[in-house]
Structure 1
Amino acid sequence: MNGRIADPGHHPAGGKTSDTPPELADQTGLRRLDAGHLLGGGRECIIVHGGAEYRLRITSNGKLILTK
């Protein structure tokens, strides 16, 4: 797996990662994404923004870190 997610709600093996929709609006109307959907069950993924690649990963302490 190269860490890239084409469809955050779709597991690479063909099944859904969970029955919960990947996007839920909270009271502010902002999109709410589950980290598990972004990471596709792995510990890191690449997010592309403005042509630059950023790495989102879960640390050994269970925290999220986003690096360029």
Structure 2
Amino acid sequence: MTAIPPSSPPGGHDQVVVACAASTSAEPGIDHTAPQVLASASLLRGQKSVVIEHNGSSYRLQNTRQGKLILTK
């Protein structure tokens, strides 16, 4: 996973762009059938939102004031 440093876009919201590369090779000792569990804090890293790039599209993962997550395209 590669993170691009936070920036402040015109709306004044901080964001971090996260680009994940899919692994095509099997890694020994890793169960690829079970989903990987990631803490939201490890994705957000103190920011209000992050942009996730997936298959050429950008998605915004946002933490609300109520502590809920919203994913939008």
Mark yes or no: TM-score above 0.5: yes
CA distance in 1, matches of 2:62, 2:46: 11
Aligned pairs for 1:7-22 within 5 A: none
SS in structure 1 opposite 2:47? coil
In the alignment, which residue of structure 2 is the partner of 1:47?
Answer: 52
Structure 1 unpaired stretches of 5+:
7-27
* 1:29 counterpart = 2:42: no
In structure 2, list runs of 5 or more residues that go unmatched. Answer: 1-5, 8-15, 20-32
Alpha-carbon shift at residue 5 of structure 1 (Å): 3.5
Greater fraction strand? 2
2:9 matched to 1:4?
no
Q: Which has the larger radius of gyration?
A: 2
Aligned residues: 49
TM-score when normalising by structure 1: 0.60
Q: Secondary structure at the match of 1:42?
A: coil
Cα contact 1:5–1:40 (8 A) shared by 2: no
